Structure formats: structure tokens, C-alpha cells
Amino acid sequence: MKAIIVKAKPYSFTDSKTGNKLEGTSVQYFTKTPDGEFLIGKTTASYEDVSKFKEIPGVYELEFDYLPNAKGQLVGHFRSAKYIEKAVINI
């Protein structure tokens, strides 16, 4: 899916209840459906994946794996991002 990445922010903290270290990269993007509707999305990538987002805002080809959750609903899990070009947003 082609998307414009507007934020890729790494995080790393220790959960105060469990003591587990939590790391990742919070990614926010928007994309366009085949019928022209804009959709805003958010996903989590690994902590190391932040280096894949070298230009923000930027146009990227995103890939997701779709796996069922506990309710049997398909949920997209970030797999990869390929940089295409710089995005120019004029507001």
C-alpha cells in the first residue's frame, strides 16, 4: 500500500506494573482508497525500524501481514517500508 508517513517516533520504556521493557516505533500515515477516500492509519513497527523512515513526510510503500486476533478479526501487522519519494504537503 502506498502511503504518506507523517510521523515515525521510537519509544522505549519499562512497564511499571510488569517491569517489562517495551520498545517500538509508533508510525502514523495516511493513504487513499481506490474510490478516492483518504484514510488515516497508525501502526507499530520495531524499535530498529525507525531507520527505515528517513524522510518525513515521505511517500512509502508499506507492507503488512494480516493475522486473526482473539476475536477472529484480521489485524494488520507492520512488515516493511520502502521509501519512494519526499512528500510535499501544502496547507
Q: Which domain holds residue 78?
A: 2-86
First to last CA, the chain: 24
SS3 60: strand
Residue 35 lies in a domain: yes
Does residue 52 belong to any structural domain of this protein?
Answer: yes
User: Per-residue pLDDT for the chain (91 aa), expressed as one digit of tens each?
Assistant: 999 999 999 999 999 999 999 999 999 999 999 999 999 999 999 999 999 999 999 999 999 999 999 999 998 899 999 999 999 988 8
- CATH number at 49 reads 2.40.50
Q: How many domains does the chain have?
A: 1
Is 46 within a domain? Answer: yes
Parallel, antiparallel, or unpaired: how do β-strands 38-45 and 58-68 relate?
Answer: unpaired
Q: In a 3-state reduction of DSSP, which class is residue 80?
A: strand
Inside any domain, residue 91: no
| pTM (predicted TM-score) | 0.84
